[in-house]
Amino acid sequence: MSAFARRVAALTGLAEERMEHLAGGDLSEVLLVRRPDGRLSVAKGGPAAASEAAMLRGLAAAGVPSPAVEGELGGVLMLEHVENDRVFSPAAWRSIGSALRRLHDKQGESYGWPVDYALGTVALDNRQRSEWPAFWLEQRLVPTASVLDRPWRERIAALGSVIADLLPAAPAPALLHGDLWSGNILVRGGRLVALLDPACYHGHAEVDLAMLTLFDTPDAAFWEAYGPLEPGWRARRPAYQLFPALVHLRLFGAGYAGMVERLLAALDGAD
């Protein structure tokens, strides 16, 4: 077993034979832990266990299903295991839409989050501020592109006027999941049972919707349950999808270059 499994065994007092690796976990090691009383838990590794625990509690406080936090210590986050069937039926999408609306209705006073964290090796600057377009450009797009080749960096840096003109100056600071795609959504029996792996902060609600539609195709029932979108959302979507595309380009390589190029071309057209 891995060093992480040995650490979990030491913290829980359970034998390593009671643990198995779970599929997924692109950015952290994830284990299924079988407890002596028959309960199942999930152990996640990483330096931000306390931050993720706080985010999961924030989701729950907003009325959104999320795994119960069983504890965090020494870079190990222990979570409730949530059974799911991966069947994204119209009823499941409707449940997701309603929950996401509840999440976004939970608003903060400014954009950002009390602590910084990272998506893998992509550090996120969460300094709280009141200017949304500046937050998006200077604390999401430009830093994420900062280690890419020079042509990418220059094109992202040149988006300043486009972002300033395209994005609303002061949208409601909605509580965001921050890493919303179907891999982080658990459904069972036609309803949402948990949102996983949050990267929460306060920002424009369209950020979550843009990422969800970058990698998935929500059913019409989702949009009906979520409710009306703000005018101009279609034009803004490429600006919001560009951030997760850049993250994927950095973390997973050139296979995402075409996605980034397509989104930049859309923003060039918006200039």
**179 catalytically annotated:** yes
The one catalytic residue among 26, 105, 149, 179? 179
Buried b (16+ CB within 10 A) or exposed e, 20-49: eeeeeeebbbbbebbeeeeeebbbbbbebb
Q: Which of 121, 125, 114, 112 is nearest to 47 (CA)?
A: 121
Which ranges constitute the DSSP H helices of 23-159?
A: 49-61, 90-105, 132-136, 142-145, 150-157
Q: Half-sphere exposure of residue 18, counting CA atoms within 13 Å on the CB side?
A: 18
* Pairing mode, strands 174-176 and 201-203: antiparallel
Cβ atoms within 10 A of the Cβ of 217, count?
Answer: 10
| Positions marked catalytic | 179
